Chain A
């Protein structure tokens, strides 16, 4: 299926970003996206005419949560050097990512999944609830708690205000 491969080539980086928000580790993110794409392959004729990104992000979130319920089966390659903080005192992407990863790691996994779908995948509350098999009220409370946790994180608070000042 050439159109599946073409889609994967184009969508890979954005799906990887979504998966990183769940796993806060690039290699686990890669493992998660590969798993989801392999599952999506057989359903591609049905997926392709809708909103494939949204469908796959929902699969990323639900697969991630089911992995957690069972166990992480991932295999981590190691030849990638750990990311190093950028120099020069400026808060670059790597440092920002480290801070965000720490903050995300402190969130319960369902809150992390809700956060990814709502604020990265642009899902509505109803769509998020459907994707994760939750009630809309639960999605609302997860969203509100996750936002509060990020807002009260001392290191992220400065970043949030920095972003607001742009």
Chain B
């Protein structure tokens, strides 16, 4: 029998506010343990939490960007569980009236687009951090009370690839909104996955497992591939799937049962008596709507339209808001109608320089006019070859104030297009490669590129490859 997977994702993003969600403690990352705590986040008796207005605004913003209905009336509830990372023995969360609900996020897999339904996005407080030693556990409450937005999909994702795409798009949107860093390594974005399988064509849901300990989007995808196979194998062996939480072991590439006595979850939610409800006016929602910037999907379409770029290029250019702004400044600065050379230089040489420097493209501080000048010198004026151009760009990354022309002049890199001075090198190359020269003569014109390459090598990239090719053609063809 053929089975299909049904996946739902729960994503927690830490909102980038300066203070915690219900108190004024700092949210700065990396502080010494238990130095960003106060009676409110430590849950002392008699304290009163007060909601951070920015956390509310950010939550609404995300809800709107995810096409959700933002509820006019929202409230907080207490979720009870006992664990040492939770000093109050309850978490302030939202139960039946989340800030936003019923949204969707468009995903495109293999050229096909569909909308993944989002059930809800609610605001809650984060728990502390535990460090397990041999005989005891250490608790740091600095993270306790940091604002978390939990975004839950419907069981409406049907392949690991789609889950990966959903997460990539979600992260990109939230980063564009500038409300969270979405850094999985720092834990500002966390994801749990629910997965079940069912016979293809059936509408009911099979028994699910929940996967935790997912440290990257790749881990989410890999763990889902693994779980789908495990579920199908279990069913085919005539066994039953046990509803349980499983941990992903990234090194071994498999999930393992948590094996802890899985107690029935009984959170005994009730309305948080310390927080009066929130009424969000239409004006407020409209006001926040206006602050939503152009989101990745629209930006891709506009870049394709305005700059005549292929979808592939634009997708890379707009991967983050910073990169998109950086690219757009350079696309605009390029006077020609055909902007493709600019896109090529950004996603090619510039991206590889960024990768080597382990930074983002936008962090390479070459001014737009210098960057454009270099492209002109290579592509139009042909003062230097493509290869030399890349080398010059690398130098520019190290000293951004220096112009391309200056570097070329100082290092005597200008391309040699003068035929007379190239003839000598070409003669030598033909002499040392008689076989290839014969091949070209006898009609294998493709081999000419090998000879061009040899001349380039001999002149250390300074020969104008077009002129070299022409001379060679004249001689041999």
Q: Do the two shown chains form a genuine complex with each other?
A: no
Residues of A that sit less than 8 Å from B by CB: none
